[in-house]
Homo-oligomer: A and B are copies of this chain.
């Protein structure tokens, strides 16, 4: 079945390497070369993953001399946020309770 807009972000983050690249970029921008050195895949593989992330708005890039600098786009997570927001409407108490638990957990670690 063809990929739909709704599942695009899930799809993009479903691959471990691609997720790791996004997480790496969320801690600071990086060039393709730098990313390639961080992951056990070839440079073209990294470029392909970056293309996938870019196509669904999870990263942006700019040229800087010979390098392409990539950075994570928090706004790219909007669909995910939106989707979970939707479920908060359906299951308000349950999810809110869960959020509280998670927040506490975060604060104590």
Residues of A at under 8 Å CB distance from B?
A: 1-4, 6-7, 10-11, 13-17, 19, 26-27, 74-75, 77-78, 80-82, 84-85, 87, 89-91, 94-95, 98-99, 102-103, 106
Contact = CB atoms under 8 A, between A and B. Distances in A.
A19 B13 CA distance: 15
A98 B85 contact: no
A4 B15 CA distance: 9
Q: How many copies does the complex hold?
A: 2
A15 to B, nearest CB: 7
A77 B87 contact: yes
Given A3-B16, A10-B10, A27 B90 contact: yes
Contacts of A3: 16
B90 A102 contact: no
Contact of A81 (B10, B16, B74, B84): B84
B74 A98 contact: yes
B16 A6 contact: yes
